[in-house]
Amino acid sequence: MECARLIPYYVKRRFFCFRSQEHFPWLPGLLFVVEEGREGSMRAVVQRVLSARVDVEEKTVSKIGPGLLVLVGVGDSDADADSDFICRKILNMRLFTNEKIGKAWDQSVMQKNYEVLLVSQFTLYGLLKGNKPDFHLAMPPQQAEPFYNSFAAKVSKAYKPELVKDGIFGAMMQIHLVNDGPVTMHLDSRKSIGSGTVESQEVSSDV
């Protein structure tokens, strides 16, 4: 099927294609890809901290000083575009005060040269069925682990590897933190996916 343009959209398992001349005559030459059963998106909870650490079996495996603690959830249908979006937002959202000019919400973690601690957390996809949590929207562990590891490597490469720390995927972790503010932001890679691209989304971090 030939078409002049393809609308960017995410396909999980199945999709339908409609010729515009048959279904949308006012949009000649346009091919629509409409997703069925869209589930999930990549999510992150970003906390501005004075310090944070991850303990596993009573041993500290990672710790940071001032910076960001990021809880990361991977959805069942997430793709590289989702991790790209979350990576950019984590590193560029302006959650810190510019001490030189006394302006709040003016600098990113990179501008401050602060640290980032990433922690995988599939429970960000928890839904309550009655009183019991259900996590079927989260990516299965066998696929989620390499996806999460590639995301962590992406953040390290985009910033400074020595300033990006990590927990242990799948481990029972104890997270200790001193939230500064408190400041906590929620990111969702496809909250505004109706525009057709992840890049077009904005969150309330740019104050």
Return the active site residues.
121-123
Which residues, other chains included, contact 34 with Cβ-Cβ below 8 Å and sequence gap of 6+? 9, 15, 16, 18
For CA atoms 9, 13, 37, 151, give the dihedral sign.
Answer: negative
Q: Would you say 92 and 109 are in contact if contact means Cβ atoms under 8 Å apart? A: no
Q: Would you say 133 and 126 are in contact if contact means Cβ atoms under 8 Å apart? A: yes
Q: How far apart are the first and last CA of the chain?
A: 45
* Cis previous bond, 182, omega within 30: yes
Q: Could you give the 3-state DSSP secondary structure of residue 2?
A: coil
